[in-house]
Every structure is written in C-alpha cells, then in structure tokens.
Amino acid sequence: MFQMFQSKPQQNVTKPVQGAITEDMTLEQVRVAMLQLLADEHINHHRMGVLYNYVVDKKLAELAGYKDARDYFSQNLRDVSQATLTTYGTVAHQFTEDVARRFGVTCLSLLLTYKELAGLTVDHDEPGASSIDVPDAKGMVTKKTFSACSVEELRRAIQAKRKPTSSKPLPPEAVTLADVVGKAVAARFQKADAVKVQLRNRLGVPVLDFRSIPLTKLAQLVEALTAEDSAVLKALQKALTA
C-alpha cells in the first residue's frame, strides 16, 4: 500500500533542519529551513488525504465493524478533526503530491471552493495561473494569479463571491414558501437529526439549502415535499397562481 507514496527524488531540495537551531543561522537560512518544513508538512497532509480516501473507497472501517470512516477516525485519530481529514482527502483526490508540496493543502482547498463559486476552470496539474478576483479593504478588485495569492487573499476572494451582489430583498411570497417548506421538513424528522432548511439570497435569487439530511431518511424528505396533503404543494400552487 505504501508504494503509493514512492516518488522521484526532488532536485535542489534543501535538507530539513536537524537537531537544535544554531545561534549563527542567517535570516536566509531560517527562511529556507522554514520553507522546507512547510513543504514537508504539505506532503504529509496530502499523504494523509490519500490514506483517508483509501479507507473510504475500500470501506475498511465498515469491514472492521465501524459505522463508517468518520466513526473510525473519530475514535482512533482524535487529534485530527473530520473537517480536516475531509479537506485532505478532497485535495488528494484533485491534485498530485507535487502540486500539494508547491502550493499547500490549505490554499488548494480554498482554490477548489473559489472554483465552484466563480465557475472557474482550473488546470489541476498546473493551477498556479488560475485567475482570482481579490478585493481589498475598500472592495476594489484586483486580478491575481493563484500562485501569487496568500491564504488571506483567497479567503477574501471567496467571501466576495459568496456575498450577494443584489441588495434587493427577497419577495414576501418566497420567504413565506421557504417557511412552509422548513416547517414541513422539520415535522418529518426528529430534533436529534439536526436537519436544517435555510433560505439564502444568491444574486437576488431565493435559494433553499437542505442540510444534515440523513442518507437513510431521504424518503422522509421526499414525503415532506411531495405528499398529496403536503402544505408545501399547497403553498407552491398558491405562489404559482398569485
């Protein structure tokens, strides 16, 4: 299994710091050493993602008697959150170890988020040239390449894409319908399921987000939305004929 981590040796790679830091290290030596430590960290995170994906794809946790991979790692790898493992796994699915070493798992994860929000086409082998719209504190946008963006700039770019560009409020009928849907769905689930229905204003368009729907209870969601006596259908018919 560990053959998946064998790669060609990198040329011109500075060896990582060994032992205690000497007092005569120059500023440049410190910078190079820190960059190497970061590169090693990126590689380790990518490999953790590969291992996580391997467990998920092969259903090793289920075969060992656990509910799923999330259940297994929550009990046996408590120092790493599920969100972090998911991030590592997603990046490992999309990018090679070399790309992860050069750009970092965090930045690549943010790039994937920005890609979805902006409808961006990304070369997963060479993502550095991807164009990012980075706003400053005053909202002025500057186009930068992904390779030139910091983590903070990527987060600002994502936040700007998520923020609705239309300040026009949603129509009352949309708010009413969303409220009806939320109550109908909540009535089909238990509080312990923590199901949420959220109305968002996306570029002036009302959008409903359904969150935390248990996969084994999808039928209940369908029933809530399509039952003949459902308040959802009545409210929808009323909205369409208004």
pLDDT tens figures, 194-232: 888 888 777 678 888 888 888 998 888 888 888 766 677
Q: Are residues 43 and 137 in the same domain?
A: yes
pLDDT band at 2, cuts 50/70/90? very low
Whether residue 14 has pLDDT greater than 50? no
CA torsion angle 10 11 13 14 (round to 10): 140
Whether 41 is covered by a domain: the verdict is yes
Q: Are residues 157 and 230 in the same domain?
A: no
Q: Are residues 185 and 210 in the same domain?
A: yes
Whether residue 74 has pLDDT greater than 90? yes
Residues 6+ apart with CB under 8 A from 168: 204
pLDDT tens figures, 33-49: 898 999 999 999 999 99
* Average pLDDT for the chain: 85
pLDDT tens figures, 141-163: 999 999 999 999 999 999 988 87
Distance separating alpha carbons of residues 62 and 115, to the nearest angstrom: 33
pLDDT band at 139, cuts 50/70/90? confident
* Structural domain that includes position 225: 172-241
Q: Are residues 34 and 153 in the same domain?
A: yes
| CA distances for 110 relative to 59, 80, 140, 201, 241, angstroms | 28, 19, 21, 22, 43
pLDDT band at 16, cuts 50/70/90? very low
Whole-model pTM: value is 0.61
